Amino acid sequence: MKGALGLALAAGLGIVGAVSNWFYLQRLAKNEEKVWFIAIKDGVTLNAGDVLKGEHLQRVGIPRSGVDYLDTVAPQWSAVEAVKGVSVNRPMRGGEILLKQDITGPVLRSLASELQEDEVVRWVPIDAGAVVPEHINPGDWVSFDVPRMGGAVPTPAGTPTGSGSPPPGTLSEIIGPFRVMSLGGRREPQEVWEGKRRTGGSESRIAIVVQLQNGQLEPKAQRLFNALRLASNQGVQVQLHSSRLEKNP
């Protein structure tokens, strides 16, 4: 009997100890030092390019034991004045913690807003099996290897320049260069795009800038799209030019 009473007492003390320990942990969590970060206020929605204002922001506290690496990628509340007046470069909603990458780098504007009055954007399908689009970035200059229009005796492909005529007897010609605006939905370098956890889907189409002359496509662009139509808009190979090519030659 005494043994059973002892076991019951020990079990009871164990339960009391566990409960006491739970309350201790709860108090510890409440009393633990917090690190305060900048967050978008509940109910606020921001678009890419919107300027951060005081009324858009609220502070959010995270227990120091749960911060991990967040303090290396997110500005703390003590820096809130420094972020006011800065544009965000992606859409944001209430409750999101502001990250350094959200307020650095270029703001993505619409394609149309980046064009001159005599420029248009056209899309070119590329051969996914022969092109690695990850190595091509918006702002680069590219040319396209397309079938040559008109009959020809099969000979190795030539390398004519942008608006000149290809040598007779060639099967294909290289037309360009053109400035790249986007690859699929990607409008940033690949590492920046991935760093922001963005997904743009397939990059099998390149958006290029084309000049207009008297309301018509410039001659090299006309040749390019005529050749694409001849090839039933099949994907073509791409030639990437040096980054030192700063303007259309």
Q: What is the pLDDT of residues 111-161, one digit of tens each?
A: 888 889 999 999 999 998 899 988 898 889 999 999 887 644 333 344 444
| CA neighbor of 97 nearest in space, from 117, 127, 120, 77 | 77
The answer to whether the beta carbons of residues 69 and 37 sit under 8 Å apart is no
In angstroms, rounded to a whole number, what is the distance separating the alpha carbons of residues 208 and 162?
15
User: Amino acid identity of 233?
Assistant: N
Q: Which of 33-37, 156-160, 244-248 has the highest mean pLDDT?
A: 33-37
Tell me what the pLDDT averaged over the chain comes to: 78
Residue 208 CB coordination number (10 Å): 22
Q: Which of 137-151, 171-185, 210-224 has the highest mean pLDDT?
A: 210-224
Question: Which residues are CB-contacts of 158 (< 8 A; sequence separation ≥ 6)?
Answer: 166, 167, 170, 172, 173
The answer to whether the beta carbons of residues 176 and 124 sit under 8 Å apart is no
Tokens 């307020």 appear where?
103
Q: What is the DSSP letter of 90?
A: S
> Model pTM?
0.53
pLDDT for position 142: 95
Phi, psi (rounded to 5 degrees) for 194: -70, -35
The answer to whether the beta carbons of residues 143 and 158 sit under 8 Å apart is no
Residue 234 has pLDDT above 80, yes or no: yes
The answer to whether the beta carbons of residues 241 and 142 sit under 8 Å apart is yes
Residue 105 has pLDDT above 70, yes or no: no
* pLDDT tens digits along 46-82: 988 788 999 999 999 888 888 888 888 899 998 888 8
Percent of the chain whose predicted confidence (pLDDT) is above 70:
69
92 class by beta-carbon count within 10 Å (0-12 exposed, 13-18 middle, 19+ buried)? buried
